[in-house]
Amino acid sequence: MKLIVTDRNGKVHTLDGREDWSAMEVIRDANLPMSAECGGACACATCHVYVADGWVDRLVPAAQQEVDMLDFGVAVQENSRLACQIKMTSDLDGLEVTLAPESL
Ligand code: FES
């Protein structure tokens, strides 16, 4: 399945997602800049992404821990999610996200 990622320079990368990997793992495996400091434990908010229109409602809703952690994110928007909490499945083939800024 494909994961389409726009980096902070506006460049679009089409990545090969792997079933059961998180979007964060796919992004880091492609060496795109995402610090993901906690390694996917939903404890840092440095894997913050914006989910493209049309995809937000297709994701499993954020658990309370993710909602709470997003409070620590930078420039959080309605379509913000933590990439480590998005599990890649065939339903998400073609998912589009944009890397959020790490600082303002
Ligand atoms: Fe830390 Fe996602 S990697 S919250």
Judge if pTM exceeds 0.85: yes
The CA-based angle 37-61-29, given to 5 degrees, is 35
At residue 102, the pLDDT reads: 86
Give residue 48 CA to ligand 1 midpoint distance, Å: 8
Strands (E) located in 17-64: 48-51
**Average of pLDDT values for 3-8?**
98
Residue with tokens 């995402």: 34
Q: With 90 as the cut, is the pLDDT of residue 3 above it?
A: yes
**Average of pLDDT values for 53-74?**
96
At residue 47, the pLDDT reads: 97
Give residue 14 CA to ligand 1 midpoint distance, Å: 21
Q: With 80 as the cut, is the pLDDT of residue 104 above it?
A: no
Q: Is 62 in the pocket of ligand 1 (CB under 6 A)?
A: no
Within 10 angstroms of residue 66's Cβ, the number of other Cβ atoms is 17
**Average of pLDDT values for 17-45?**
96
At residue 57, the pLDDT reads: 96
